[in-house]
Structure 1
Amino acid sequence: MNFDLTMEQQMIADMAADLAKKYDPEYWREKDENKAYPQEFMDEIGSLGFFGLPLAEKWGGADAGLTDVALAMEALCRGGGGGGPALGYLFGLLGNLSVAHHANDSQKEKYLPAFAAGEKTCAFALSEPNAGTNSLNIETFAKKDGDDYIINGGKWFITNIDNTDAVLIVARTTKKEDVKNKAAGISLFLVDLPAEGISYTPIDKHGYHYYKSFQVFFDNVRVSKDCLLGEEGKGFYQLLGTLNPERILIASGACGTAKLALEHAIEYAKERNVFGQPIGAHQAVQHPLAAAYAKVEAAWGQVLKAATLYDDGKSDKEVGDVANMAKWLAAESALEATHHAMQTLGGCGFAREYHVERWFRECQLFRLAPVTQQMTLNYLGEHVLGLPKSY
């Protein structure tokens, strides 16, 4: 087992860390307070090739592994952005991976070079009011009409659709009651934006203020059969290929955010003097930070293990077992780290200028997305421990 980074991996991590210094906590604080999209950050990570890391060289990518992408994600978050870079980078990658894995050559030629260069990005429209974690329960329907499809329905908590050039829509092409296997009859459609019949309204939400989430409506949206991504009716199985990378990368962002918060708390604990000595000299301050640091490092080890298994071509089951553990550990450790960082700063932890309250807010989402902590435990109970299905 070798824990040393390759020269290429170290270069990627260093480049991400250098970029993070430019987009420092103050940059993200201002964006958060103004509810402004971090366009400069997104443009630069695109121009530097971060979105193209996992894509093939023929499409303008770097042919890098998921481990390389995880290293970049962790460094971008740890270097100053906290949760800010995590969502922007992740949402830019999900569409890329789906197109790379399932698109035909014509679709790849149309989208992947622009995706790799960060010139275009893609939103991901899966979640619905009656189908959150239970994705098989989606009701958005795409009806075949000659060589076209007509899409009707709606989604919610769809992030960044206001700043993207395309949207990947998950819709039923066969109604649930008409299939024996509920996973059948779901299809993927890659649709350019803006598109007639697609509208959306923002959801006022907790946590991230620079990325808006929306309720999206599809009203007789006519799309060509050329928008169908992969095989009709096989969309759910195609989505499974992005679930493990999504868990691994959100865990990477959680670890980077946790380390950033701990670094700030540790510096504060060294400098803040009360009763004649630094508060970091007190075990009541020191021990929670030390314990949180140990837990984050353990989570980061699981993230790298999961990414390595993925890059080595292990089965979805082998990767999924570790990816779910990594996601659970990273989200829990990030919440604990940011909590103790706030406790260390005391009243200053509530002040926006110290940034910790923002990282604490952002870490709440790591426990909910892309899958809740409870569902990761359900997975581990059933698929790792061999216990009966619990839901």
Structure 2
Amino acid sequence: MALVIEALCESGAGATLAQIFMVNPIFGGVAIARYGSEAMRRDLLPALIAGDIECCMALTEPDAGTNSLELRTFAEAHGNGWRLNGRKIWISAVPTADKMLVVARTRKVEESQRRTDGISLFLIDVEREGLTHSTIEKAGTHCVPASNVYFEDTPVAGDELIGTLHGGWKELLDVLNTERIVTTAGLVGAVRLALGLAIDYANDRRAKAEIECAAVMNHKAAALHDAGMPYGSQANMAKLIAAQAAAEGIERAMQTMGGMGYAKETHLERLWRDARLFRFAPVSEEMILNYIAVHDLGMARGY
């Protein structure tokens, strides 16, 4: 899939196309296939593949951006299910989605041994009592809308739990690391497109080396994922390199073209606006460096 995304983004779509591949194949497909119940896999995966349903994921909150452990949305046990209360922000593709993967606390932090405990995932209908959403106007990536989402005593059935009750953190990371592969593929394609639009800049070997380095690392992450092996470090490194290379590459391609680089007809201004998002989304450069420091360099956790 990473190779397909690279090609599509390079052909003219830019990095924002990768977001479309996040919502259904990752937030829907990966989550359901790996952690959904047998009934979920039987009923939802064929519909997802056929394009009959679409998905989104509600993770980010006003006070829990890159540090997802600060999330406050809470699912309180109620009968055979739960009641959701809280707010999410910057949630992609809500208006077109049928199903929403919701990340919530099911046990208070003070009642858990670790902050990573007490988090659970739920797959619920977007059209549901107590669930409302509103669109956020933004500078770029217009093909995928972003929304505020509000839960007010939103009912969740017992069979809508996806994965392990109170143990959803590791399952969430699996979904998010797969998202990194998709994001990097989109950025690789976008900067290749920008280089092609600015021929003079395309001869800059260092810039091309950086994005090809990101592509190789991303392919390695995808191969490890397909082999069922750990791939988080490779996926995060690839995303870091790709986001920085895309920002610099598209900026310099724009500079090379002068005023026409700022004109809509050349498409560079669109690539420039869209690429800026990926310096801090779906995970910021700072959080990736923290991850590498702890997991690969053995440094003490300082955040």
State the alpha-carbon separation in 2 of the partners of residues 212 and 147 from structure 1.
34
In the TM superposition, what whole-angstrom CA distance separates every residue of 1:226-245 from its partner, at most 9, and x where no partner exists?
11112211111211211221
Partner residue of 1:167 out of 83, 100, 104: 100
TM superposition shift of 1:193: 2.5
Are 1:107 and 2:107 an aligned pair? no
Considering only CA atoms, is the larger Rg found in Structure 1 or Structure 2?
A: 1
**Which residue does the alignment assign to 1:200?**
133
Aligned letter for 2:212?
A: E
**Which residue does the alignment assign to 1:341?**
253
Are 1:187 and 2:120 an aligned pair? yes
Partner residue of 2:176 out of 243, 257, 260: 243
**Which residue does the alignment assign to 1:65?**
none
**Which residue does the alignment assign to 2:212?**
297
In the TM superposition, what whole-angstrom CA distance separates every residue of 1:89-125 from its partner, at most 9, and x where no partner exists?
2222222100111111111122111111222111100
**Which residue does the alignment assign to 2:3?**
71
**Which residue does the alignment assign to 1:135?**
68
In the TM superposition, what whole-angstrom CA distance separates every residue of 1:107-153 from its partner, at most 9, and x where no partner exists?
11221111112221111001111111121111111111111211111
SS in 2 for 1:78: helix
Partner residue of 1:372 out of 271, 284, 299: 284
TM superposition shift of 1:263: 0.7
State the alpha-carbon separation in 2 of the partners of residues 313 and 103 from structure 1.
17
Are 1:150 and 2:83 an aligned pair? yes
**Which residue does the alignment assign to 2:240?**
328
1:205-354 → structure 2 map (5 Å cutoff): 205-266=138-199, 280=200, 289-314=204-229, 316=230, 319-354=231-266
**Which residue does the alignment assign to 2:110?**
177
Q: Name the structure with the higher helix share.
A: 1
SS in 2 for 1:241: helix
SS in 1 for 2:258: helix
TM superposition shift of 1:286: 6.6
TM superposition shift of 1:324: 1.5
SS in 2 for 1:109: helix
Are 1:86 and 2:12 an aligned pair? no
Are 1:388 and 2:303 an aligned pair? no
In the TM superposition, what whole-angstrom CA distance separates every residue of 1:322-380 from its partner, at most 9, and x where no partner exists?
21111111111111111111011100011111100100111112211121011111112
Tell me if structure 1 keeps the 8 A contact 2:16–2:186: no
Aligned letter for 1:265?
A: A
SS in 2 for 1:83: coil
- When normalised by structure 2's length, the TM-score is 0.95
State the alpha-carbon separation in 2 of the partners of residues 244 and 301 from structure 1.
16
State the alpha-carbon separation in 1 of the partners of residues 73 and 241 from structure 2.
34
State the alpha-carbon separation in 1 of the partners of residues 300 and 157 from structure 2.
43
The alignment's C-alpha RMSD in Å is 1.4
State the alpha-carbon separation in 1 of the partners of residues 75 and 53 from structure 2.
25
State the alpha-carbon separation in 1 of the partners of residues 233 and 40 from structure 2.
32
Tell me if structure 1 keeps the 8 A contact 2:97–2:126: yes
Of 319-328 and 381-390, the range deviating more from structure 2: 381-390
Structure 1 unpaired stretches of 5+? 1-68, 267-279
State the alpha-carbon separation in 1 of the partners of residues 137 and 19 from structure 2.
17
Identity, in percent, stands at 41
In the TM superposition, what whole-angstrom CA distance separates every residue of 1:146-193 from its partner, at most 9, and x where no partner exists?
112111111111111101111111111111121121111111111112
SS in 1 for 2:115: coil
State the alpha-carbon separation in 2 of the partners of residues 321 and 194 from structure 1.
37
Aligned letter for 1:184?
A: D
Of 235-244 and 70-79, the range deviating more from structure 2: 235-244
SS in 2 for 1:180: coil
- When normalised by structure 1's length, the TM-score is 0.75
Aligned letter for 1:297?
A: E
SS in 2 for 1:163: coil
